[in-house]
Amino acid sequence: MKILLLVLFPILMFGQTITNESSFKTKVDSAYLNAMKGVFFALENIPERKNSISKDLITDNELVAKIKIGKGAGGVYVQSVGFYKTYKVTTEIYRDYKSLKNDGVIDYIPR
């Protein structure tokens, strides 16, 4: 009986670790996906008149992402913070106006 307990005890301990790691990865991936939702929203809604703008994406009374959009001399930068429960992932990108126009995101290159 003692041998059986000695064999099963490590399996039970490491089994918990594996599920905790996969749960952590899933939660971080969900926060990253929410941050990317913010990036896609920002690229579709680049302000024409203002140089910078901040928005919050809220779905079902939960904060999904906080977005900051800024226009620079040669392009647009986006900072998106994605949330999932207590996890937070920050993503920052920069896209120049030529690539945005080639991708069909904007119609003309602003001055």
Identify the pLDDT of residue 4: 55
Is the pTM here over 0.85, yes or no?
Answer: no
Q: Residue 95: which pLDDT band, with cuts at 50, 70 and 90?
A: very high
SS3 47: coil
Residue 23 lies in a domain: yes
55 φ, ψ (degrees, to nearest 5): -140, 155
Token pair for residue 42?
């920002």
Residue 69 lies in a domain: yes
Q: Give the position of tokens 């939960």.
A: 62
Identify the pLDDT of residue 81: 97
Identify the pLDDT of residue 82: 96
Residue 109 lies in a domain: no
Residue 108 lies in a domain: no
Residue 51 lies in a domain: yes
Q: How many domains does the chain have?
A: 1
SS3 70: strand
Domain range spanning residue 58? 2-102
Residue 19 lies in a domain: yes
Residue 34 lies in a domain: yes
The mean predicted confidence, pLDDT, of the chain is 84
Residue 107 lies in a domain: no
